[in-house]
Amino acid sequence: MSKKFYEKFLKKFYPSYKYSWRVHSDKLIELTSKNRSWLDAGCGRNKTVGEYPARFAVGYDLEIHPKLENRNRFVKGRIENLPFGYNTFDFITAH
């Protein structure tokens, strides 16, 4: 069955249902609109940090994605060895 079918089904039987990406996006809009600093842990392509108006945003991942975006706001490394000082970020996401 297609994605369109599921969207139609959910809209009809569960009108208040929100996809996880929508919940994540809504929360990011709320948090970044307050001019905060943000670390996106496990950022993959690092596309998300360019889509929200945070004061300061960095994507962080173990590997460099072949289609990496926002290279100037990307750091490669392991999450247990963050190269940032204490209280650098107001919030951290991992989606």
The fraction of the chain above a pLDDT of 90, given in percent, is: 67
Q: Is the pLDDT of residue 91 over 90?
A: yes
User: 60, 38 in Cβ contact below 8 A?
Assistant: no
Task: Give the per-residue pLDDT at 71.
Answer: 96
pLDDT digits (tens, 9 = 90+) for 72-84: 999 999 999 999 9
pLDDT digits (tens, 9 = 90+) for 47-68: 999 999 899 999 999 999 999 9
pTM: 0.80
User: 29, 53 in Cβ contact below 8 A?
Assistant: no
User: 70, 52 in Cβ contact below 8 A?
Assistant: no
